[in-house]
């Protein structure tokens, strides 16, 4: 645990300022499960607090820890043979049926990708990280990241052809999933 008062203050400031962005990352890594994203972020922040004084650059450290923790959870979950299905939220107000349908289609398609494919897409497009950084986080080569992203996007096109209406040159709509 954090002993130094200055380090504790630095940790609290980091959590206060970066939690929303880290929560969005957790939401995407967990396939749109808000509660699982909260658990993921809390687990990683608790572990980071234990070694906070030794962390030089906390943002990449926490993001990498979130990715690795989620991959570990995916490995355990894949052995259980359960399928988690999110329910569509009831949204009062203006009719955003088409946007909501696209969000659900994308969310469902993302859950049908492998853990590695989903992580590559989230890190590359949602986090907007360069391929070299994605490769470092995932522990593979840049070429592997490129081919994984390429195959993952192809798989998304097969799983959700209705997303093609968004335009061929547009980035995947990850930002819209979290709104």
CA distance 86 to 107: 9
94 and 177 in a common domain: yes
Q: What is the pLDDT of residues 66-96, one digit of tens each?
A: 998 988 877 665 555 555 666 765 555 555 6
- Please say if the pLDDT value at position 103 is more than 90: no
Residue showing tokens 């499960």:
33
| The last residue of a domain, from among 62, 84, 106 | 84
78 and 106 in a common domain: no
Angle 103-43-83 from CA coordinates, rounded to 5°: 45
% of the chain surpassing 70 pLDDT: 77
Q: What is the pLDDT of residues 127-146, one digit of tens each?
A: 889 999 999 988 999 999 99
Mean pLDDT of the chain: 81
120 and 54 in a common domain: no
How many domains, the chain? 2
User: Closest Cα partner for 144 from 177, 179, 117?
Assistant: 117
| The last residue of a domain, from among 84, 119, 138 | 84
160 and 113 in a common domain: yes
Q: What is the CA radius of gyration of the chain?
A: 17
Residue numbers of the domain that contains 160: 90-179
Spatial CB neighbours of 42, under 8 Å, sequence gap ≥ 6 = none
């Amino acid at each position: 645990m954090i002993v130094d008062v200055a380090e504790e203050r630095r940790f609290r400031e980091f959590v206060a300022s970066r939690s929303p962005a880290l929560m969005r990352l957790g939401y995407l890594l967990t396939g749109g499960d808000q509660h699982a994203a909260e658990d993921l972020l809390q687990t990683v922040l608790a572990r980071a607090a234990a070694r906070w004084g030794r962390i030089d650059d906390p943002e990449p450290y926490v993001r990498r820890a979130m990715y690795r923790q989620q991959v570990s959870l995916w490995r355990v979950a894949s052995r259980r043979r359960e399928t988690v299905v999110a329910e569509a939220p009831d949204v009062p107000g203006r009719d955003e049926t088409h946007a909501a349908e696209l969000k659900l289609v994308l969310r469902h398609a993302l859950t049908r990708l492998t853990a590695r494919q989903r992580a590559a897409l989230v890190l590359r497009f949602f986090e907007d990280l360069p391929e070299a950084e994605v490769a470092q986080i995932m522990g593979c080569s840049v070429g592997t990241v490129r081919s994984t992203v390429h195959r993952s996007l192809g798989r998304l096109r097969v799983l959700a052809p209705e997303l093609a209406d968004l335009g061929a040159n547009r980035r995947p709509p990850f930002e819209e999933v979290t709104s």
